[in-house]
Amino acid sequence: MSELNGNPATLKDLQSLALTNYGHFTSMRMEDGTVRGLSLHLDRLVRDCRIVFGVELDRERTLNYIRKAASGVTGVAGLRVTVFDPAIDMGRPSNAKDPHILVTLRPGAAMPPPPLTAKTFTFTRDNAQVKHISLYPQLRIRRDAQLAGFDDAVFVEPDGRVSEGGTWNLGFVDQDGTVIWPEAPVLPGTTMLQLQSLDAPKQITTPVRLVDIPNMAAAFATNVTIGVRCVSAIDDVQFPPNHPVLAALRDAYVSIPGERL
């Protein structure tokens, strides 16, 4: 199901999104009409709209479009809000100042998925703090990782600092049970932000370099689709799939109440 500004989206409506691919989005997991971190998702849409389009997104109007699209939907669903200007011209992207709201729904997946393996690549996402729709670089590197026998990619800065995964935030657990969030250019994921707000376990944000990875006790991926997902290997470094801190993080995240649409 797709709605643009509250009305069924047509092929013509979506043509510029497919051909020009300029805009930003957020993805949510809706469970019986509630969304964990709904306010954070709306904050992201407003913030990114200022950066991408230079205009202020109407927060309440956006929420009303989400409510309308999700009306009557029960159970678990993936809900994506994409902000783009259908009138954009590739030659004059500076004229794109009338962002529209596209809301799409799809079935939700079970959470968490099985452990994943990741291969490291030197790469920095353009405008890393924005959840923009230009996903080609990440998908190309994800494809390269899969062709090499891994599930996904982990990005590493040219200076050796580990940053994030293909479409997820990356975290580690050190030998003392402290959760380590890499300090590097990363997307401020809503799931990561919610986990960082927990009182326990102890958490810090600090640079993590490639040479530090073998010293970690566990690694995990996190976003709204996967929750807290174990990373069982990064390159040739193996991690246990059932570390107790990961189980505690997963349970704590699932217990965070959703916000009603």
Domain parsing of the chain, residue ranges? 2-107, 116-256
Question: How far apart, in whole angstroms, are the C-alpha atoms of residue 244 and residue 247?
Answer: 5
Give the pLDDT confidence score for residue 13 in this predicted structure. Answer: 87
Residue 110 has pLDDT above 90, yes or no: no
The residues with which 77 forms a beta bridge, in sequence order, are: 30, 107
Q: What is the average per-residue pLDDT within 194-221?
A: 96
194 neighbors 40 (Cβ within 8 angstroms): yes
Q: What are the pLDDT digits (tens) for 122-141? A: 999 999 999 999 899 999 99
Return the pLDDT at 12. 87
User: Could you give the C-alpha distances from 94 to 17, 53, 54, 66, in angstroms and in order?
Assistant: 16, 8, 9, 27
115 three-class SS? coil
Q: What is the pLDDT of residue 89?
A: 84
List, for residues 232-256, the tens digit of each pLDDT value.
999 999 999 899 999 999 999 999 9
* The pLDDT value given to residue 57: 97
Q: Which residue has the tokens 């109440």?
A: 257
- Sign of the torsion angle spanned by Cα atoms 212, 162, 109, 36: positive
CA–CA separation, 135 vs 27, rounded Å? 14
Angle value at C-alpha 120, between 116 and 121, nearest 5 degrees: 135
pLDDT score, position 27: 97
Q: For residue 1, what pLDDT band results from cuts at 50, 70 and 90?
A: confident
Sheet of strand 24-31, all strands in order from the earlier edge strand to the far edge: 7-8, 2-4, 100-107, 76-84, 24-31, 34-35, 259-260
Percent of the chain beyond pLDDT 90?
84
Pick the CATH number of 2-107 from 3.30.470.10, 3.30.70.270, 3.40.50.10470, 3.40.50.920: 3.30.470.10
In the three-class reduction of DSSP (H, G, I as helix; E, B as strand; rest coil), residue 224 is classed as: coil
Residue 154's pLDDT is 98
Residues 152-162: what's their mean pLDDT? 97
- Report the predicted TM-score, pTM, of the whole model to 2 decimal places: 0.94
Q: How much is the pLDDT for 68?
A: 95
* Contacts for 224 with CB less than 8 Å, ≥ 6 apart: 27, 28, 29, 36, 37, 189, 190, 191
- At 34-84, the pLDDT tens digits run 999 999 999 999 999 999 999 999 999 999 999 999 998 889 999 999 999
Cα dist from 128 to 8, 186, 225, whole Å: 31, 5, 19
- Residues 97 and 25: their CA atoms lie apart, in Å, by 16
pLDDT at residue 200, as a whole number: 83
The mean pLDDT of the chain is 95
Residue 121 pairs with which residues in a beta bridge? 155
Residue 207, pLDDT score: 98
Are 179 and 203 a contacting pair, CB within 8 Å? yes
Whole-number Å distance between alpha carbons of 95 and 93: 5
Q: Which CATH class is domain 116-256?
A: alpha beta
- Band of residue 115 on the pLDDT scale cut at 50, 70, 90: very high
β-strands 203-206, 179-182: how paired? parallel
Which tokens hold the place of 14? 């979506």
CA atoms of 99 and 52, how far apart (whole Å) = 10
Residues 6 or more apart from 15 whose CB is under 8 A from it? 86
Tokens of 140: 């190309």
Out of 4-13, 56-65, 145-154, pick the least confident: 4-13
What is the per-residue pLDDT for 55? 95
Helix (H, G, I), strand (E, B) or coil at 43: helix
